[in-house]
Amino acid sequence: MNSPPARDAGTAAAAVSAETPINLKLDNASMSDIAHALASGRTTATALTKAYLARIEAYDRDGPKLNSVRALNPDALAIAGKLDSTRPSAGQSLAGIPILVKDNIATGDKQPTTAGSLALEGAHARDDSTVVKLLREAGAVILGKANLTEFANMLAIDMPSGYSSLGGQVKNPYAPALMDDHGHPAVSPGGSSSGSAVAVAADLCAASIGTETSGSLLFPASQNGLVTVKPTVGLISRAGIVPIAHSLDTAGPMTRTVRDAALLLNVLAAKDPRDPATEPLRRPADYTADFTSDAMKGARIGVPSDAADPLNDPYFGKLPPKSAKVMAEAIKVLEDLGAVIVRASMPTAGWMSGPGTIMAVLNRNPLSGNKGNPVVQRIVFLYELKRDLNLYLKDWATNTAIKSIADIVAFNEANAEKALRFGQDLFLAADLTRGDLREREYKSALAMDLLSARTRGMDAYMNQHKLDAVLFPGSGGAAIAARAGYPSVMVPGGFISGADDKDTPDYPLGITFAGRAWSEHKLLRLAYAYEQASNMRKPPPGLPAL
């Protein structure tokens, strides 16, 4: 369902051979490797851009049809051409490097910013988001927009990960041919940033930018064998990003290595007057500093699982055997690196869904096995959604008649056959709120979320056991870290198989290091030490160099 101009641009670009050969194995190349190749003159921005466009044509549009790239930037080759004489440097660390951004991140160019919604099909942004401004200033080539779960998975209950009415369904590159009875991927491509993750896993770009409210960076990174950083809320500006909830929203990098994620944080972590949450920002001068193989030695790593308290083990206790084996092997690597493993249950007071934080929403999704039943949803998400999305549509969206969440609901109802395959129950619930965040239930829910996740959850746990980080399997710890506003760093941990009682090819499982506010550098150093010792990332099969 991608727009014809974007598809034509990719086809034309793929048909043109690069004048400068790429003396670099592009598949599974790190962004750092690509920067070195550019700096040494072994390739150019134009040659790289053409090569990635060719891979998009071969594997995203054709072949397994991964469908991870919603639209290409028609100016990508022109931008690359202007950067051919500029090599990566301290001042422009990303010069000539092609990067995809999730299609809820505004670009003030010819590309629409749609959040995957038919209602916003032709909508443009008044300006670049702060994230895109920083990428451009660092010399990146904005290659295009990645597909996503529509409105970052806040439109409908039980919408499949990676599906949008405008972009269609993203597939997991480790099992692209395996579908369930409804035609959805049997192996999920991950959360709402699935397109961003799949594109990096399949080597369709050097790196990408996704977003997370709760799990939308971590889950797709886990499913696609990637590194990601879900930053402290306020480390990366959200100005110009189609929102869900400002209390939790953040952008973050998706890369093939820990060093690459740190390099992107160097560019993106900056104060921005357009986002007040960035005012207290704290960061090192260089996120790649002190990356050593012995960074894990003496680190106290909390594992929220205690054999003496099996009933209080929501993170490790119910893991399938293959996932449990991956985590046991990961913990053994950490011990061999000199980490102090502290096995202790998380305080039950820190569990999610505390008093007054949830509400019931009727599930009308016609394809859901739970249709007709009330489903628990977060109050903060739904109440902030209306206020924040209305502000984005008012302040950022152009070339569209859509100016409110009510307009989107009305458009979807008028175009239900195409726009409402899975319904819009979450938007309906959000639109019933005042939209100004003055309700008592909202203020109480926000306070209780912070009390449970931060004060009685992460803070209490880390203080009691004097921890440097907390280890979670996959994206299992996404909710508590997200609600606390705290950072998480994921790194590939191993491979598992099987989904919903079906046999599947092997696909990745990540491990997550979570910590306190502004501790990204510490978490990255720990993740780097683990990455170097384990070397668990393997690219998807069946996507060879062209």
pLDDT of 22: 63
Task: Reply yes or no on whether the pLDDT at 405 is more than 60.
Answer: yes
- Among candidate residues 216, 345, 368, 452, the one labeled active-site is 216
pLDDT(8) > 60: no
Q: What is the mean pLDDT of residues 93-109?
A: 98
pLDDT at residue 19 tops 90:
no
Catalytic residue check, 271: no
pLDDT, residue 409, reads: 98
Could you read off the pLDDT of 127-186 as tens digits, one per residue?
Answer: 999 999 999 999 999 999 999 999 999 999 999 999 999 999 999 999 999 998 888 999
Lowest model confidence (mean pLDDT) among 173-182, 250-259, 333-342, 526-535: 173-182
**What is the percent of the chain with per-residue pLDDT over 70, rounded to a whole number?**
96
User: Of 3, 30, 68, 102, which residue is the catalytic one?
Assistant: 102
pLDDT tens figures, 433-451:
999 999 999 999 999 999 9
Backbone angles phi, psi at 494, to 5 degrees: 160, -160
pLDDT above 50 for 1: no
What residues are paired with 511 via a beta bridge? 473, 491
Instruction: Assess whether pLDDT exceeds 80 at residue 21.
Output: no
Please provide the average confidence, as pLDDT, over all residues in the chain. 94
Structural domains of the chain ordered from first start? 4-273 (3.90.1300.10)
What's the pLDDT score for residue 85? 95
Residue 384: pLDDT above 80? yes
Find the mean pLDDT for residues 24-36. 91
Residue-level pLDDT at 501: 84
Instruction: Give the mean model confidence (pLDDT) for residues 82-108.
Output: 97
Rounded CA-CA distance 126/204 in Å is: 28
Q: Which tokens hold the place of 462? A: 């880390």
Q: Which of 129, 192, 193, 519 is catalytic?
A: 192
**Starting at the edge strand that comes first in sequence, how are the strands of the sheet with 488-496 ordered?**
69-72, 141-146, 98-102, 207-212, 250-255, 227-230, 488-496, 507-514, 469-473, 300-303, 340-343
Confidence at residue 20, expressed as pLDDT on a 0 to 100 scale: 55
Residue 353's pLDDT band, with cuts at 50, 70 and 90, is confident
Q: Name the pLDDT band for 371 (thresholds 50, 70, 90).
A: very high
Position 27 confidence tier, pLDDT thresholds 50, 70, 90 = confident
| 269-305 tens-digit pLDDT | 999 999 999 999 999 999 999 999 999 999 999 999 9
Q: Hunting for tokens 């004489």 — which residue is that?
A: 85
Global confidence as pTM = 0.95
**Mean pLDDT to the nearest integer, 314-327:** 96
In the residue annotation, 353 being an active-site residue is answered as: no
Residue 293 is among the residues annotated as catalytic for this protein: no
- Check: CB of residue 75 under 8 Å from CB of residue 108: no
Residue 442 pLDDT? 97
Nearest to 334 by CA among 295, 369, 370: 295
Residue 7 has pLDDT above 90, yes or no: no
Share of the chain above pLDDT 90, in %: 92
pLDDT > 50? residue 11: no
Positive or negative: CA dihedral 74, 77, 80, 82? negative
> Residues 66-73: what's their mean pLDDT?
98
Distance of alpha carbon 18 from alpha carbon 44, whole angstroms: 9
| pLDDT at res. 168 | 97
